Structure 1
Amino acid sequence: MQHNRRRSAWRPAALAAIGGSVLVAMGVGVWATLTATAANVAPEQVANGTLKLTLADNGAGFGQSITNLAPGDTVNRYVALTNGGTLDAQALTLQVAATGANALITDGATSKALRVTVTECVNGAWAPDTGACGGTKAVLMAATPLSGLASAVALPAGAMAAGDVQNLQVSVQLPDQNETTVNGVLPQGTVQGQSVNLTYTFGETQRSATTTNS
């Protein structure tokens, strides 16, 4: 009798365990959820713009050497800057790398160094043979010693829209100064017979970033 009682007591416990397992299994189904997605049929294309600045000589430009400068002389060269990218640009700058005779680069206690001036012909072009501007002249940079152009200097030329061209006159001047040569001997620190090599680098930055709604 005790053996039967034990078997009878075991059966409800076993049934309860089986039932619990069924409920656990059914519980997984209870927590299942429906999902749905939506996507554009045609892909949206995103393309970046480009920022390009090119320099071209107008007339002799920077491709021709300047020779036989005398104190007080000014030589004008003409170049065209083109914003050839698809992005508008701003903040035009100029830097001039100069190597050679220090007397033509740095003033020191004198005013012997070469000066550079930049003038734009607004809404027109320069005639390199006459120096005539077909628009309005605007000085972008007053006469500056070469040493002052070792770092980029801002040119207040305003924004350059994509495709815009800026026509520039770049003037190089040897300041008026006095020197005396005695018996064929040049004075110390002379500017005579000296030379420098100049590399002009113009720069620009992209237009200000924008937020567009459409």
Structure 2
Amino acid sequence: MSEIKAHRAARSTRRPTPAVFAACAVAAAGLAITGGGVFAALNATASNTTAQNATSGTLSLTMANNGAGFGQSVSNLAPGDIVNRYVNLTQGDTMDAKALTLAVADGTPSKLTTDATKGLHVTVTQCSGTWTTTGAGACTGTGATTTVLATGVPLSSLTATPSTLIAGTVAASSTLNLQISLALPDQNETTVNGVLPASPIQGLASALTWTFGETQRTSTVVGS
């Protein structure tokens, strides 16, 4: 009998009292009020009524033969010969460029493009006017010439590393009128009874691809 009374006493001590129920009800009400207040904040926005246009520029460079250009073969060269070819480079019309370079690749490498002394040498000259593309070539009109690749640079150096023609800005919508002069340096070889000497400069052929490269203008920060 005493065990039953003890069990009932233990159950009564675990049963919530009316005061506990009241406290829980107050806490729940407080949470409800607080939660409702989070979603009742004031808000405001502002936006432009006319859409702002934003565009990105385009960097492009195109090349065209000017009379006898890179599409014209250079053939039957003898030591001391100079052959001029002419191309026009046009900068795209939206973005300035900088650091114009020239590189050459040879699809069939030979001493013409691998020998820095006996192989081909190149000079690049810019005309601010128009080139007359006959004979030695002449810069006509009010134009003046500027050597943008020093006289007699070995073509082999351009096959290894692009050479800088213009370090500064190449303006959008501008055209560069270029003369590319290829020369085979003076040198001596003797053919004996129709037999060429060892490792000759004669009878060679190369397949040249000329590549002009550039980078975008220096990035800017503009406030107006």
State the Cα distance separating 1:46 from its structure 2 match. Answer: 1.3
Among candidates 182, 194, 201, match of residue 184 of structure 1: 194
Partners of 2:111 and 2:201 within 8 A in 1: yes
Aligned to 1:149: 158
Aligned to 2:9: none
| 2:156 alignment partner, SS class | helix
TM-score (norm 1): 0.87
1:105 aligns with 2:110: no
| 2:70 alignment partner, SS class | helix
Paired AA for residue 196 in structure 1: S
Partners of 2:110 and 2:205 within 8 A in 1: no
State the Cα distance separating 1:44 from its structure 2 match. Answer: 2.0
Is 38-47 or 141-150 further displaced after alignment? 38-47
Aligned to 1:20: 27
5+ unaligned residues in a row in structure 2: which ranges? 1-16
Paired AA for residue 67 in structure 2: G
5+ unaligned residues in a row in structure 1: which ranges? 1-9
State the Cα distance separating 1:12 from its structure 2 match. Answer: 5.1
Give me the whole-angstrom Cα distance separating, in 1, the residues matched to 2:20 and 2:191: 124
Give me the whole-angstrom Cα distance separating, in 2, the residues matched to 1:85 and 1:112: 41
Going from structure 1 to structure 2, the CA distance change for 1:157 and 1:165 (only over 3 Å counts) comes to farther
Among candidates 154, 163, 171, match of residue 161 of structure 1: 171
Give me the whole-angstrom Cα distance separating, in 2, the residues matched to 1:193 and 1:51: 41
Give the paired residue count.
203
Give me the whole-angstrom Cα distance separating, in 2, the residues matched to 1:71 and 1:13: 112
Aligned to 1:54: 62
Give me the whole-angstrom Cα distance separating, in 2, the residues matched to 1:149 and 1:195: 17
State the Cα distance separating 1:37 from its structure 2 match. Answer: 1.8
Aligned to 2:45: 37
Partners of 1:181 and 1:187 within 8 A in 2: yes
Indicate the RMSD between aligned Cα atoms, in angstroms.
2.0
Paired AA for residue 187 in structure 1: P
Paired AA for residue 168 in structure 2: G
Give me the whole-angstrom Cα distance separating, in 2, the residues matched to 1:36 and 1:160: 48
Give me the whole-angstrom Cα distance separating, in 2, the residues matched to 1:19 and 1:64: 96
1:125 aligns with 2:130: yes
Aligned to 1:206: 216
| 1:91 alignment partner, SS class | strand
State the Cα distance separating 1:102 from its structure 2 match. Answer: 2.1
Partners of 1:49 and 1:85 within 8 A in 2: no
Partners of 2:98 and 2:166 within 8 A in 1: no
| 1:25 alignment partner, SS class | helix
Partners of 1:89 and 1:205 within 8 A in 2: yes
Partners of 1:100 and 1:197 within 8 A in 2: yes
Aligned to 1:3: none
State the Cα distance separating 1:127 from its structure 2 match. Answer: 0.7
TM-score (norm 2): 0.83
Give me the whole-angstrom Cα distance separating, in 1, the residues matched to 2:37 and 2:217: 57
State the Cα distance separating 1:29 from its structure 2 match. Answer: 3.5
Paired AA for residue 23 in structure 1: G
Is 177-186 or 68-77 further displaced after alignment? 177-186
